[in-house]
Structure 1
Amino acid sequence: MPIVSIIVPIYNVEAYLERCIHSLINQTLQDIEIILVNDGSKDKCGEICEKYAKIDSRIKIIHKPNGGLSSARNSGLDIANGEFIGFIDADDWVEKRMFEVLVNNATKNESDIAVCNYRSVYSPENNQPSKVSLALEDGLIDVESLGLSRYILDYFLPFKHAYCVWNKLYKNELIKTHNIRFEPNQEIYAEDILFNLYYLCHTKTISTTPEVFVNYYKHSNSLSSIPNTLLSRLTRMVKRFEKYAIHHNYKKIARITIPTIFCEQVLASLDYLLHSKDIKYVEKCLKDLSSSNAFKEYSLKTFFNRESSKYLKSKGFRLRGRLYFRLMLIRLMLGQNSFILNKLIK
């Protein structure tokens, strides 16, 4: 049994794939398996995978019809044999010591998640210098003592450990025992967030390192991959986590934490819409909310939730800004889209 199974979902990224594979086969930790999931690529990704599988026996390949990122990662999880699980996106690359250090941290601290720092590397058309993304320290967080709600509110939502899965190492035993999977991309948005929230329900300790191991390649800014059902999908994500948390006896989550998660997702969504120049796209996003009872339900919960107000304050919203955010929620609930559109256009 390998120490780590590294799952790489692949779709039409032939220009970057070899860079990613090279960074994995050259890890200082050699006892790994690399699971390349070719998710119906129409370019030469399949051929590249086959080429490297002949070179390195640690590489396993899954060729499957296109089903989206979640489907690809789940296919990798189905055959992963490692003690730990890592996820790397095919257009990113990692430093040589990444998995050696994360495994050592997880083993030494008996932690259920090991987190590392990452570097955002921008494509040439972005014309931006690369930058380290997180302010991490060497540390160990006792989630069991802190409480899941407080960890989510104090660490997860403020993005101290990031929402992504590719700067973390997970225990395969926990994933298999609780059948944790990525929800379908067609049904929710931000599948990484929901996977992490599910996993956190079973997490006792988290170890962190400030070392920068992942190079996250950011393509030119585009909203083309963001669905016009954005807010409804994010609302659905929140509802699924609430159901999961309550099922696992985290009833406090529903009362204290869920409204703040919803608040953060609405903020992120409005930010996306604000930077969109496609008015028709924005109109579709807003119109879709008219049939979402869950959006109205969570909006009301957020409106009166103290932790949500604290979160907005931590994001720099003064009293007037926090009141204005609540006004926006009311407008969205009532379907007053022309008001929202005018504010976004301005």
Structure 2
Amino acid sequence: IEIIIVDEGDDDRCRKIIDYYQSIDCRIVAPHKKNGGYGASCNLGISMAKGEFIAIVESDDVLAPNMYEELYDLAIETGADVVKGPYYEYFSNGTLRDCSYRRKLKTSVPQKKCFSAVDYGEILEIHASLWAAIYRTSYMREKNIRFIQAKGGAYVDVGFRIDTLTNTNKIVWYDKPFYLYRVDAEGSTTNNFRLAPMIKRWSEVHQAHKDQQFNEYFYPFLIKDEYLNTIGWLKNIKCSEEEIREISTNLQKLPIETIKKSPVLTGNQKNEIFACRKDPEGFLIKMNRYRRLKRAYADFDKFINFFGSQSVRYSFFCLAVIFLLASLNISEEGGFITSLTGIILGLVFIFSLCARVVQKLLSRAKEKIVNVYFQN
């Protein structure tokens, strides 16, 4: 095995740590790449690699010691150009969680034997997870597969993932997670997401792949990823008029039939794509309204959750009974006030009983409301 550690020249102790391990292990090569960005660093490593296969590891992740041995053995056995598998999401509290698509790919693609994305487009739906795989070096160089070297390096794995999976008929899926992908605290993704570079990455994909085969075989599956990472985010974050026009321009490059026949888009998602293509500014207005409605719904949902909780219901019931019983032993004026308090608490208790029913009805109606909203 050869280990290439690309040092980007950060002002910390990384260089000293790298130099130490390089001095005691002849397998380690550590080139300097001053502030080149993620794409440039990966490209440097790919160009330097001498091994039969290439793998990528991100600096804050963890992997099982036997990962590459097992993936390599399977690649040799099958003759694969790419061997890819699922991964674990690794949280700071030590929790591990299966990646979202593992269950689906157990039944939707062949297991431990070669296939192509032409026949099994489901492989294109998954998270880029470029580090949960190995790639044949000769294949990478023959097809000139490289990362986009964009400033800041944001989302440069979009094109790399597509290129590695659409240029070969020798993909192997191995349903065994070895890689622990470190994620931030849940809920922080929205704060880290940047829409503009993601739009740019998809624009580059459209520019690079204009042939009919790509639209016919690959884009019916890839479009779900583009939708989720552009339009899908507008339900949570703000978008400028310039950005929505760029999203619309990208989507207009796709044939209408490609969108219509996509097996992975829901009817509502297709409606949103067509609405954005037709009138991006009007669509943005709708999305802004939807986001406000969503916030209001979330606030109301919290209110309902509070009153619908079992402990709150019992508390109001007990208080109502206590006040009503107490009113029987208090003077007429004080008894009236105490009785009134008990009645009010009793009504709140009844409301809390209804709260759960209201919440379930609203939850069922929510998706239907969204569908109608974007159809009009």
Same fold (TM over 0.5): yes
Q: Which of 82, 98, 123 matches 1:155? A: 123
Match of 2:63 among 83, 94, 112: 94
Q: Which has the larger share of strand?
A: 1
The one-letter code matched in structure 1 to 2:239 is: E
- 1:104, 1:274 → 2: CA distance? 44
Question: 1:140 Cα deviation (Å)?
Answer: 1.2
Tell me the residue number matched to 1:253: 214
Residue 335 to residue 149, structure 1, CA distance change in 2 (3 Å): farther
Q: What SS is found at the alignment partner of 2:150?
A: coil
Is the aligned partner of 1:65 residue 2:31?
A: no
How far off its partner does 1:45 sit?
1.5
Report what 1:307 is aligned to.
261
1:164 corresponds to 2:164:
no
Distance 2:198 2:172 in 1: 32
Distance 1:254 1:194 in 2: 15
**Corresponding residue of 1:13:** none
1:172-222 Cα distance to aligned partner (Å, 9 max, x none): 011112221001234985322311222234322222322221111112324
Aligned partner (choices 200, 215, 218) of residue 233 of structure 1: 200
User: Partner of 1:108 in structure 2?
Assistant: 77
- Aligned residue in 1 for 2:230: 269
Q: Which 10-residue stretch deviates more, 195-204 or 67-76?
A: 195-204
* Matched AA of 1:254: N
Task: Determine the structure 2 residue equivalent to 1:175.
Answer: 140
Instruction: Flag the 1:222–1:132 CA change in 2: closer, same or farther, 3 A.
Output: closer
Please tell me the residue identity of whatever aligns with 1:164.
S
Q: Does the 8 A contact of 2:88 with 2:96 survive in 1? A: yes
Q: Give the equivalent residue in structure 2 for 1:19.
A: none
Query: Could you give the per-residue CA deviations for residues 116-146 of structure 1, whole angstroms, max 9, x where no partner exists?
Result: 331111124xxx8311222365421322xxx
Unaligned runs of 5+ in 1: 1-31, 277-281
Name the aligned partner's letter for residue 17 of structure 2.
I
Instruction: Answer 1 or 2: which has greater helix percent.
Output: 2
Flag the 1:304–1:239 CA change in 2: closer, same or farther, 3 A.
closer
Q: Deviations over 1:50-69 (max 9, x none)?
A: 11111211111011111221
CA distance in 1, matches of 2:230, 2:247: 16
Structure 1 residues 154 and 210 mapped into 2: Cα distance closer, same or farther (>3 Å)? closer
Cα deviation per residue 1:263-293 (whole Å; 9 max; x = unaligned)? 43122333434344xxxxx233x53233567
SS in 2 for 1:139: coil
Indicate the residue corresponding to 1:142 in structure 2: 115
2:291 paired with 1:344: yes
Structure 1 residues 82 and 43: alpha-carbon distance in aligned structure 2, compared to 1, 3 A threshold: same
> In the alignment, residue 216 of structure 1 is paired with which amino acid?
Y
Specify the structure having the higher radius of gyration (Cα): 2
Change (3 A) 1:37 1:223: farther
- 1:271/1:114 Cα in 2 relative to 1: closer, same or farther (>3 Å)? same
Q: What amino acid does structure 1 have at the position aligned with 2:285?
A: S
How many residues align structurally?
284
- Aligned-residue RMSD, C-alpha: 2.8
Deviates more, 1:287-296 or 1:200-209: 287-296
Q: Of the two structures, which has the highest relative contact order with CA contacts closer than 8 Å and spacing of 6 or more?
A: 1
Task: Rate the CA distance shift 1:256–1:218 in 2: closer, same or farther, 3 A.
Answer: same
Contact (CA 8 Å) 1:231, 1:289: kept in 2 or not? no
Q: CA deviation at 1:79?
A: 0.8
Separation (CA, whole Å) in 2 of partners of 1:304 and 1:169: 31
AA matched with 1:110: G
Shift of 1:168: 0.5
Selected match of 1:287 from 242, 246, 253: 242
